[in-house]
Structure 1
């Protein structure tokens, strides 16, 4: 049995397959989800699970080289949360961010309803 704080077995298994440069997206409940990536829908009701809750767990359990936010999120609470986790941030337009979604390996959908509460986490290596 693995020792991990992540209890969602399918999500934990998918994360274990990630390698350097793979991307994992944390998505708010309004982001359009494309066909292709593995999707883990953790939304229960609006606000649960929150972007912050999912970000907390994933940043503790992944090696993240850098991350990407929409420029529309600049200066807001989403940027502050990402910076508080020590994430190196890059910015692209929200339309460009949506265009990157089909290439993601994993999308984790939250119940978050804060505008532009989406982040692309770029996997790094632990060595």
Structure 2
């Protein structure tokens, strides 16, 4: 029985298949369903878990090379919210791009983790180093 780290077997299975330069999406609760990629739904209630909480859990098992978020995240969220997300990605190069372009990257991901996040445009794409 697992006692520490990620306990969700579906999430562990997904992470085990990610290789160098593969991508993984962490999404908010309202992100569209993408039938062509595996989705692990961790949402419980509004705000549980959050994108930064999931990212913190992943960082022990996932080597991040870079990340992308939508430019709209910057325009729609407070400085404090932006800082919390940037802190969760500490040391990882983060690029912002229009949400339309961000969504074009999604079908190329190995998988998507849906959270209960309610922050607008909180979605991120993570590239494995």
Instruction: State if a TM-score over 0.5 links the two structures.
Output: yes
Match of residue 27 from structure 2: 27
Q: Kindly state the Cα deviation for residue 51 of structure 1 after the two structures are TM-superposed.
A: 1.4
SS in structure 1 at match of 2:100: helix
Q: How many residues align?
A: 124
TM-score (norm 1): 0.88
- Distance apart, 1:119 and its partner CA: 0.5
Q: Offset at 1:59?
A: 2.1
Deviations 1:31-78 (A, max 9, x none): 112111110000111111111211111123210000001011127455
Matched residue, 1:113: 118
Quote the offset at 1:82 in angstroms: 3.5
Within-5 A mapping of 1:1-127: 5-74=5-74, 76=77, 77=80, 79-85=82-88, 86=90, 87-124=92-129
Task: Calculate the TM-score normalised by the size of structure 2.
Answer: 0.86
Query: CA distance change for structure 1 residues 109 and 20 in 2, over 3 Å: closer, same or farther?
Result: same
Unaligned runs of 5+ in 1: none
Q: Structure 2 unaligned segments of length 5 or more: list them.
A: none
Q: CA RMSD in A?
A: 1.9
Q: 1:60 aligns to what SS in structure 2?
A: coil
* Shift in Å, 1:4: 5.3
> Per-residue deviation at 1:79?
3.8
